[in-house]
Chain A
Amino acid sequence: MIDFSLITPELFLVGAAFVVLVGDLFLPKDGKQGLALVSALALVLFIIISISFADAKGSLYNGLVLVDSYTIFFRILFPLISLSVVLMSVDFVPQRLRYPGEYYSLILFATLAMIAMAEAGEIITAYISLELLNFCLYVLVSYARDNPKSNEAGLKYIVLSSFASALLLYGFSFLYGIAGTTYYYGIAQSLSQAGGLNGGLIMALVLITAGLGFKVAAVPFHMWTPDVYEGAPMPVTAFIAVASKAAGFALLLRFFSTALAPIAAEWGIVIAIIAAMSMTVGNLVAIQQRNMMRLLAYSSIAQVGYLLIGLAALNSFTASAVLLHIAGYGVSNLVAFMCATAYFNLTGKDEIRDYAGLAERSPLLALSMAIGLFSLAGLPFFAGFITKFYLFTAAADSGLLWLVAVAVINSLISLYYYIQVVRQMYISQPQEMNRLPIPRLTVGTLVVLLAAVILIGIYPAPVLSAVETAVQVLGLS
C-alpha cells in the first residue's frame, strides 16, 4: 500500500503547475500577469504544506523516493528560491517575454524536479528528475524568442547538456553493471563488499563526475556557463545559478554519502582537485569580465569550487557546512541578481561600467548590490562570511588544510572583482543623473532578502541546526 501522504506536497505542486498552464488558456491577454501571483501563492502554499507534513517520513515505491529530514529541508529551500525568482520575473516578463503562462508553469515544474533530485534514492529516479529539470531549463533559457543571444544560449545549453546527460547515464550504467542494483543503499553494499576502486568503477566514477560536474558548472566542465548566463533571460539566469546548482548539490550529496560512501574517501582527491581548479579558474577569469552576468557566472563557478571542498572530505561536519553555504551563497546571489534584474528593467543595461554612479541614482539598489557582492566575497556581517568560515573550518578539520589555503587565497582574489563593481556604483560619476524609480515589489523582495543575508550573517544558529537535522539521515560519521 502506497502512502500518498508522503508526497502530498509534490502532488500539490504538480496540480498548481497544471493550473497555471491551463489557466493561461482562459485568461484574457492583459490578465495573464496574474499567473505570477498564482505561482507565488502556490509556492507559499507548498512550503506551508511541506511544513505541516514534516512528520510524514518514510520511503515510497520500495525506496525510489525517500522522504526524510533531508528532503524536507530542500522542500523548504527550493520553493523559497523559486519564489524569489518568480517575484523577480513580475516586472521582467511583461516587458521582454511573451507567453507568461508557460513561463511560470515551467518554473513550478522545475521546482518539482529539483525536489525530486533531493529525494531520489535510486539512480534512475535521480536521472529522470535531472532530465525533467533540464527540459524546463532548455525552454526557459531560450525563452526570449526575439533575442538572438537567448536563442544561441538555448542551443548551446541543449547540445552540451544532453551530452553531459549521456555521459552521466553511461556512468550510471557502468555502476549498475558493477553493483547489480540501481538503489543507492544496494550500490553501497556491493561496493563495500568489492572493496576499493577498480578499473570499471573508476570508469563509472569519471563519467558520473563529468556529468554532474557539468550540471553544477565545475571546472573543467564549466564552458557553457558564461554564454548561457549572459544570453538567458535574467530571472532564468538567477534560477540556474542558484536553484539548479543547489539541486545538483542536493543530488550529489545524497548520492556520494549513501551510494558511494565506501569509496568516497578514495575519490575525494579527484573532487578536491576539481574544487581547487574551479575556484582558481572561476576567480581569475572573473577579473576579466565586463558584463555583470558573465561576472556572476564566473563567480558562481568559483563558489562551486568552495562547495566541492565539502564534498571532497565527506562527513557530517562538512555535509552540513555544504548545505549551510548553499543557503548563504543562494541568498546572497539572489540579492545580486535581483538588483541586476531591476537595473536591467529600468535601463536595459547590464555592462559593469553601466553601473557607474548607481549610488546617486538609487541608493537602495546600490547598497543591496554591494551587500550581495560583499556577502559573496565573504565579508563579515553578511551570510557569506560565516558560511565560508564554517565550511573552511569543517574542511580543515577533515584534514584538507591545503585546499583551505587555496580557498582562502581565492577569497582574496574574488574581493578584487567584487570591489570593482562597488567602485563603479559608489565612486564613479553617473552618466545620467535621473533617480531610478524602483517598483515597490522589488523593494519589498530586496528588503526580505537582505534581512536574510544579514540574519544568517549575525545569527546563523537556527539555520545551522536545521541543516544539521537535514544531514543526520545521510548516515555520515
Chain B
Amino acid sequence: MALPSTWDRAIKWTALATGFGCLLLSLYQFLVFEPSASGYQLVESYQWLPQIGISLHLGIDGISSPMFLLTGIVIFAAVLISWKISYRTKDYFVLLFFLVSGVYGVFASLDLFFLFFFYELAVIPMYPLIGIWGSSSDFGTFARTKEYSALKLTIYLVAGSVPVWLAIIAMYVESGVNSFDILLLQEVSFSNEFQNIFFPFILIGFGILAGLWPFHTWSPDGHVAAPTAVSMLHAGVLMKLGAYGIIRVGMLLLPQGTITWMPLLITLATVNVVYGAISALGQKDLKYVIGYSSVSHMGYVLMGMATLVPIGLSGAVLQMFSHGIMTALFFSLVGVIYDQAHTREIAVFGGLAKRMGVVAAFFAVAGLTSLGLPGFSGFVAEFLVFVAAFQTYPLFGVLGVIGAAITAVYILRLMATVFFGPLQERWSQMHDASFVEGVGMAILVFTLVFVGLYPNSVMTVINSGIGPLLQRFSTVVGAG
C-alpha cells in the first residue's frame, strides 16, 4: 500500500505475494485443524472494550475451517485473474484485500460485535470496486449501469445488516451476561418466545447476503456489473458469509427459533433453487446466467441447512465450499472471454472451443460440477442435500432435483452455443487464456476434482463442526 501508484508491476507482485500468503495460511490452518478435537481451535482472545463485554475472540471450527480454505484459494486465483487490470491498480488491490480481510474476520470471529464489524467491513469496498472498475450492461430495453448495480448491492447488503444489528443488540440485552462473546451467549438459554421473534431477523438479515429469495435481486445485477475478480470473491465467498451467519449466529444461539422457522426457510430455499434455475434459463448474457445459477445453488445450501439433519448440514457446508470454487471458476472464464470479445451476449458466440481450448475445457469442468456430475465436488454436496431433503421434506426434495435438471439444461445449452458449433468469422482472432490466468483457473479446477474424488478430506473437518451444532438442537428437543 505504501508503493507509489506508478509502480504497476511492483504492486501486482505485492498483491500476488499477499494472495499467496493468504492461500498458504488458509491451507496451513486447514491442515493443522484437528477434526477429532472438540470445540474451537487456534483460539486467540484479547479484551477490547471490557465495559460492554466486547473482546476480539477469534477461533475456527469445522465449519469455518473449510471456508477459510475457500477464501484463500479464491483470493489467490482472483489476484491472478486481475493481472490485466491497469486502471488505478493500487486502489483496486487495496480494496480487494480490505474485502478479503473482512471475510476472514467474519469466519474467524467468535464475538458478535466483531462478526458484525467484519461483516460491514466486507461490504464497504464493494461499492467502489463495482462503481469504478465494473462494467455496465445494455440490452436496449433493459439497461443496468454499474453505478446503479453498485448502489443496489450496497443498499441491499447494508439493509441486511439492519435486522442483524437489532438482533445482536437484542440478544445482548436479553442475555444479561454483559458480553457479545458467542461462547458465553451459547450458555444462555433464551426464552422460546424471544427466539421465535428474533430468529427471523437473523434469517432475513443474513439471508439477503446469501441471496435468499425474494431478496436476491441485488445478486445477479451486482455480479454482472462487478469486475471479474470481484464477482469471483463475491459470489464465491461473500454470499457464503450469509449462510455462515445463519449457522453461526442463528442456529447456534437460537436453536428453538431455528426449529420453528425451518419450514419457511426450506420453502424459500426451494423457490431459490427452481426460480434461480428458470431465470438462468432465460438469460441472454453469459454473466447473468452465472449470476442466477449462483442464486439457484445458494438455494441448495439453504435447503441443506433447513433439513437440520447431519447429512443435510454437512452437504450444505460442502456445497458452500464447492459452489464457491465453482462459481469463481465460472466468473473467471467469463471474464477471460469478455476481455477479448467485449460482449457477453450468448447468441453472438459460437465455436470458441476451436480458439480457446483451455477455457472450453475448464468451462466444461465447472459446468459439469454445477449440474452435479459424479466425480466433481458438486455431486457429493448436492447428493447429500437431496438425501436429507427426501428424509425430511420429500416434496421439496423432488423440486430440488427438478431444479438440478433445469441446471443441466441451461449449462449444456450454454456450452453448446458458446464453445461448439461452427466458429464464427468474428471470433477468429480470439486466443486462449494467458498463462497467468490459466494457473489461477487450474488451481480452482484442481480443487473441484480433488474434492470430488476424495470428499473425505473436507468432510471429516465439516462433520466435526456439525456435531456440536446438532447437539444444540437435541438439547432443545429434549428440554422442550
List chain A positions with a Cβ less than 8 A from chain B. 374, 379-381, 385-386, 389-390, 392-393, 396-397, 401, 404-405, 408-409, 411-412, 415-416, 419, 422-423, 426-427, 459-461, 464-465, 468
The answer for the CA separation of A171 and B166 in the assembled complex, in Å, is: 37
- Closest B residue to A399 by CB, please name it: B173
CA distance A427 to B124 in the complex (A): 15
Q: Which 6 A-B pairs give the minimum distances between C-beta atoms?
A: A427-B131, A396-B169, A380-B117, A380-B120, A380-B121, A396-B173
CB of A169 to closest CB in B, whole Å = 39
For the complex, give the distance between the alpha carbons of A404 and B166 in Å: 8
User: Cβ of B113 and Cβ of A426 under 8 Å apart?
Assistant: no
Contact partner, B154, options A389, A404, A409, A419, Cβ 8 Å: A419
In the complex, how many angstroms separate the beta carbon of A218 from the nearest chain B beta carbon? 23
Q: Do A409 and B173 touch (CB < 8 A)?
A: no
Contact of B165 among A408, A460, A461 (CB under 8 A): A408
* Contact A461–B159 (Cβ < 8 Å): no
A375 and B49 CA atoms in complex are apart in Å by: 19
Chain A residue contacts of B166, Cβ below 8 A: 401, 404-405, 408
Q: Known interface pairs A389-B113, A409-B162. Does A396 touch B170 (Cβ–Cβ under 8 Å)?
A: yes
Q: Are A412 and B131 in contact, CB atoms less than 8 angstroms apart?
A: no
Q: Which residues of A contact B154 (CB under 8 A)?
A: 415, 419
**Are B172 and A393 interface neighbours, CB within 8 A?**
yes
Asked whether, in the complex, the Cβ of A412 is within 8 Å of the Cβ of B173, the reply is: no
Interface on B for A, CB 8 Å cutoff?
Answer: 48-52, 113, 116-118, 120-121, 124, 127-128, 131-132, 147, 151, 154-155, 158-159, 162, 165-166, 169-170, 172-173
Structural contact, A404 and B169, CB atoms closer than 8 A: yes
**A418-B258 Cα distance, complex, nearest whole Å:** 36
Q: Is the CB of B170 within 8 A of A423?
A: no
Q: Which residues of chain A are within 8 angstroms of B118 by Cβ–Cβ distance?
A: 380
Closest to A390 in B: B52
Q: Which residue of A is nearest B160, CB measured?
A: A412
Complex CA–CA separation, A385 to B120 (angstroms):
10
Q: Kindly state the separation between the CA atoms of A330 and B117 in the bound complex, as whole angstroms.
A: 21
Sample of 10 more A-B contacts, CB < 8 Å, known A415-B158, A427-B131, A461-B50:
A380-B118, A393-B52, A397-B172, A397-B173, A419-B151, A423-B131, A426-B131, A461-B48, A464-B49, A468-B51
Q: What's the minimum C-beta distance from B94 to chain A, rounded to whole angstroms? A: 11
Task: Please name all residues of chain B whose beta carbon is closer than 8 Å to the beta carbon of A465 when the two chains form the complex.
Answer: 51
Residues in B neighbouring A380, C-beta threshold 8 A: 117-118, 120-121, 124
A386 surroundings in chain B (CB, below 8 A): 49
Total number of residue pairs linking A and B with CB closer than 8 Å = 75
Residues A464 and B51 in contact in the complex (CB < 8 Å), given A385-B120, A405-B166, A415-B154 = yes
CA distance A208 to B132 in the complex (A): 50
Interface centre among B48, B50, B121, B173 (most CB of A within 10 A): B173
B121: chain A residues at CB < 8 Å are 379-381
Contact indicator B124/A426 (Cβ below 8 Å): no
Residues of B near A404 (CB, < 8 A) are 166, 169
Query: B147 and A379: CB pair below 8 A?
Result: no
B117, A393: Cβ atoms under 8 Å?
no
Chain A residues near B50: list those with CB within 8 A.
461
By beta carbon, the residue of chain B nearest A405 is B166
Residue of A at shortest CB range from B128? A426
Q: What residue of chain B has the Cβ atom nearest to residue A389's Cβ?
A: B113
- The minimal Cβ–Cβ distance linking B24 to chain A, given in whole angstroms, is 26
Alpha-carbon separation in the docked complex, A440 to B83 (Å): 36
Partner of B173 from the list A390, A401, A423 (CB cut-off 8 Å) is A401
- Residues in B neighbouring A459, C-beta threshold 8 A: 48
CB-nearest residue of chain A to B117: A380
Closest chain B CB from A179 CB (angstroms): 35
Separation in Å of the A293 CB from the closest CB of chain B? 24
Query: Of all chain B residues, which has the CB nearest A420?
Result: B151
Partner of B155, one of A374, A381, A390, A415: A415
Q: A423 to chain B: which residues have CB within 8 Å? A: 131, 147, 151
A358 to B: closest C-beta gap in Å: 13
Q: Counting chain A CB atoms within 10 Å of each CB, which of B154, B158, B170 scores highest? A: B158
Minimum distance in angstroms from B96 CB to a CB of chain A: 15
In the complex, 23 of the A-B residue pairs with CB atoms within 8 angstroms, ordered by the A residue number, are A380-B117, A380-B121, A389-B116, A392-B169, A393-B169, A396-B170, A401-B170, A404-B169, A408-B165, A408-B166, A409-B162, A412-B155, A412-B158, A412-B162, A415-B158, A416-B151, A423-B131, A426-B131, A427-B128, A427-B132, A459-B48, A461-B49, A464-B51
Q: Smallest Cβ distance from A410 to chain B, in angstroms?
A: 10
Chain A residues with CB below 8 A from B151, complex form: 416, 419, 423
B4 to chain A, nearest CB (A): 12
Q: Considering the chains assembled together, what is the distance between the CA atoms of A389 and B166 in angstroms?
A: 10
Tell me the minimal C-beta distance from B152 to chain A in angstroms: 11
Cα distance A404–B127 when bound, in Å? 26
> Which B residues are in CB contact (< 8 Å) with A396?
169-170, 172-173
CA separation between A412 and B121, bound complex, in Å?
15
CA distance A386 to B165 in the complex (A): 12
Contact B120 A460 (CB under 8 A): no
Chain A residue with Cβ nearest B105 = A380
Min Cβ gap A323→B in Å is 13
Q: Are A419 and B169 in contact (CB under 8 A)?
A: no
Specify the chain B residue showing the minimal Cβ separation from A381.
Answer: B121
Nearest Cβ in chain B — how far from A156, in angstroms?
A: 35
